[in-house]
Amino acid sequence: MTRLLVLARHGQSAFNRQNLFTGWRDPELTERGVAEAQSAGRRLKGDGYAFDVAFTSGLVRAQHTCALMLDAMGLAGIPVVRDSALNERDYGDLAGLDKDEARKRWGDEQVHQWRRAYDVRPPGGESLKDTAARVLPFYITAILPRVMRGERVLVAAHGSSLRALVMVLDRLDSDAVAALEIRTGEPLVYRLEDDTSVAEKSVLPRDETDG
């Protein structure tokens, strides 16, 4: 049985390019982001991967990434489940602000805590712990059962929602997850054991010529 689960962060968005906090804001992909998504799909196909179902968030940058990846793989017709449980963490009052300007206003350490600490909320927003509280139940009830039935599953989502999943899959503590970076356009490939633990993990490096 395959038990294939692939996690892919969306390609570069307009806010990524401008160094802005994004959260639940809904910018589109840049040209580079489109190229990253297409390249990720081509690399997965070239390595012999295929999918039976895909999951993505309620935000357009992840949905577009998902569609571009599947199209590049010749899988545009498979079912795609969209759910806001997979949304990026809500950055609250920081959304739309320049990250460098935020550091000048609140200091490097405070902004670092808002961005990377497990249980520290930005003003009006969510911590990674809060994000995990909505991502993980959805994973357990909607995604994992399909993986365990042998379906090949793609999840195209966001840095923080995927960090919440990787924390569980890789059994990371809160200190380790603070240092975890999931790059745009760089899929994480998991195969699961019959007890839902990870049998194998690999990373498909991003093609740095994209964009």
Q: What is the pLDDT of residue 99?
A: 94
Cα separations (Å) of 148 from 8, 44, 189, 193, 200? 19, 21, 15, 9, 15
| Identity of residue 145 | P
Residue 54 per-residue DSSP state: E
Instruction: For each of the domains in the chain, give its residue range(s) and CATH number, in order of start.
Output: 4-203 (3.40.50.1240)
Q: What is the pLDDT of residue 54?
A: 98
Catalytic, out of 36, 64, 88, 186: 88
Q: What is the pLDDT of residue 206?
A: 80
Q: What is the pLDDT of residue 198?
A: 97
Q: What is the pLDDT of residue 210?
A: 52
The one-digit pLDDT tens for each residue of the chain (211 residues) are 689 999 999 999 999 999 999 999 999 999 999 999 999 999 999 999 999 999 999 999 999 999 999 999 999 999 999 999 999 999 999 999 999 999 999 999 999 999 989 999 999 999 999 999 999 999 999 999 999 999 999 999 999 999 999 999 999 998 899 889 999 889 999 999 999 999 999 999 987 665 4
Q: What is the pLDDT of residue 2?
A: 86
Q: What is the pLDDT of residue 192?
A: 98
Residues in the chain: 211
Residue 208 is among the residues annotated as catalytic for this protein: no
Residue 112 is among the residues annotated as catalytic for this protein: no
Q: What is the pLDDT of residue 134?
A: 97
